[in-house]
Structure 1
Amino acid sequence: MVSRRHFPIGFKITAGLLAFLIILALATSLLVANGFKIAEQSAIEHITGSLQSKSQNSMVQLTSLEAQLYESELQQYADLTRIAADMVVNFYETRGQWKMENEGTHVITSGSQLSLSSDGLLYYDADPNRITEILHPGNVPPDSHTNRSLYDTAILDELFPALLAQADMVVGIYFQGPQLTFRYFPVRNLPQIEIENGAAEAALTMHIETFPVAPQNNPDRKTVWLPPYVDDANQGLLVSANTPIYYGDEFEGYIGVDVSLSQLIERLKTLQPLQSSFAFLVDDKGRLIAAPTEGATRLAGRNLTYQESSPTGLLGLSLDQNRDLALLLTAMKNDQVGATQIDLGGQAVLVTHAPLQETGWTLSIAVPLSELSSESDVVSRSIYNDGRTTVRNTLLAMTGLYLIVIFISIWLSYRYLNRPLRQLLRGVRAVTSGDMNVTVPVTSQDELGELAESFNQMTGELNSRSQQLSQTSNELKIKEAQLKVATLEERQRLARELHDSVSQALYGIALGARTARTQLERDPAKVAEPLDYVLSLAEAGLAEMRALIFELRPESLQNEGLLGALTKVSDAVRTRHKLDIVTSFCSEPDISLDAKEMLYRITQEAIYNVIKHASATRIEITLMMKDGKLILEVRDNGKGFDPQGSFPGHLGLQSMRERVANCNGELLIISQPGQGTTVKVELAL
Structure 2
Amino acid sequence: MIWRSMGESILLSLFLFGTVVYVLNYYGYIRPFTDWKEGITISLLLIGIVAVLGGAYGYWSSSRTKRRLEMLQDAMLHLEKGNLSKLVPDLGQDEIGRIGEQLGRISTRWEEQVSSLQRLSTNNAELAEKARLSAVVEERQRLARELHDAVSQQLFAISMTATAVGRTLDKDFERAKRQIALIEEMSSVAQSEMRALLLHLRPVHLEGKRLSQGLMDLLQELQAKVPIDIAWDMDDGIRLPKGIEDHLFRIVQEALSNTLRHSKANQMELKLHRPLDSVRLSIRDNGVGFELDETKHASYGIQSMKERVNEIGGSIQFVTAPGKGTRIEIRVPILTEEGGETSDGDNQSPIGG
TM-score by length of 1: 0.27
Higher strand share goes to which structure?
Answer: 1
Higher helix share goes to which structure?
Answer: 2
TM-score by length of 2: 0.46
